[in-house]
Amino acid sequence: MSKAIYEYHKINELIPGPSRWNFYGKIIFMCNIADQLLLLLKDETSSMYVYMNSKDNKEPIVGLKLRQVIRIHRGNVRRNPTTNTKEGVVQVEMAGCHFVAWPHFGDANNPISKSSKNWTKSDIDQEKINELSELGNDQPITKAEELAIQLVSHREKTRNDDTVRNWWKMSKIESEQSSARKARELSLISIGDPVEMDNEYDIDDSSFLESNAQDFLQFVINCPGCLKKYKTVWYISDESKEECFKCKQKVQCKVAVRVKLKFETHNIYFTFPIELVKNKECYSYIEKLIASDGTPEHVDEIHKFQETVKEALQNFCLTKIKGMVVAKSNKLKFVDIYLFNCKLLRLTR
């Protein structure tokens, strides 16, 4: 850790052009576009898309998750001619460009992901982490957020068009209606509130796509103290810790997976400890993973893990779920539900 003085700007102060900028933002949306990681960052003034590129464009940037607070040093800002919005470009190590990210309400001294070992700590890091973690949904919607919503609804629309062509149109419509009901039901639950349902939930195959590898493997701290105090579990990106990063209680970190549910209308995810879906192949792989004392370092590895879990979950749906809502965005129709418990049910449909 070294110290230097940087001048930071709010997102609405960034001007497209040759200058390089230092700024903070909260990750409120992320996706992969043509092998590039795209983040939507928000601060109290505005929001902006930021393309994240690793040093040589080969090794993926790992560890970034929704709701984290990210700080960018010497990032570029350009104007997107198609959408007429400004967007950020982070090319790690190019002209001293670097990023540091912290968990939601994290400790400034413990970044969860960073592009440089010798990262610079700034005096306002903690203040910004707290401020941006608290950033609510009540601000007016920005053009960039509108685009994120369009992106999501466009994907839904494309899927609907395909569905109409389906031979099973009638039975589909029926199951879609009940599916929409199930999705709506889950989307109405507030952050921190318990979820307890006996419905059957189908897993969307897109969960197992290589492009979703980053979001698939999760490490979760389910700390009883924090669960009571903050009404949340913590998603972290380092599984070797044996204590709660927030209150330092001794607690075992769990290897979990995040799957997207098969809903046309909402983006609903279940994150659950892999032990809930015990399966021989799956387990031996996880044991190897933990024995090697580290997270899978390459997307290839995570993808192999995805494949084993996919096999374990194939032909099953999830039911009898007990959990809580950990993250949600009404605008993006996004909900992340952590499951403390669930059952696998073999599909007969």
230 binds Zn ion (CB under 5 A): no
Among 89, 147, 151, 247, which residue sits at the site for Zn ion (rule: CB under 5 A)?
A: 247
For residue 98 the two structure tokens come to 């670097």
Among the residue ranges 148-156, 247-255, 264-272, 309-317, the one whose residues contact Zn ion (CB under 5 A): 247-255
Q: Does 209 bind Zn ion (CB under 5 A)?
A: no
Q: Which amino acid is at 305?
A: F
C-alpha angle with apex 238: 232 to 242, nearest 5 degrees? 75
According to the binding rule CB under 5 A, does residue 246 interact with Zn ion? yes
Rounded to 10 deg, the angle between the 143-164 and 169-187 helix axes is 150
40 touching Zn ion, by CB under 5 A:
no
Q: Which of 201, 206, 217, 301 lies closest to 256 in space, CA to CA?
A: 217
Stretch that binds Zn ion, among 20-28, 216-224, 274-282, 285-293 (CB under 5 A): 216-224
Smallest distance, Zn ion to C-beta of residue 252, A: 12
For residue 316, what is the enclosing H or E element? strand 316-329
Check residue 244 for interaction with Zn ion (CB under 5 A).
yes
CB nearer to Zn ion: give 43 or 239.
Answer: 239
Q: How far is the CB of 246 from Zn ion (least distance, A)?
A: 5
Burial 220-248 (b: 16+ CB within 10 A, else e): bbbbeebbeeeebbbbbbebeeeebbbee
From the number of C-beta atoms within 10 Å of its C-beta (0-12, 13-18, 19+), residue 20 rates as middle
Size of site (CB under 5 A) for Zn ion: 7
236 binds Zn ion (CB under 5 A): no
* Binding region for Zn ion (CB under 5 A) out of 44-52, 126-134, 239-247, 307-315: 239-247
Query: How many angstroms separate the CA atoms of 143 and 321, rounded?
Result: 37
Query: In the block, which residue shows the tokens 């994907």?
Result: 155
Q: Per rule CB under 5 A, is residue 50 in the interface with Zn ion?
A: no
Residue 294 touches Zn ion, criterion: CB under 5 A: no
Cβ closer to Zn ion: 17 or 225?
A: 225
Which residues form the interface with Zn ion (CB under 5 A)? 223, 225-226, 244, 246-247, 249
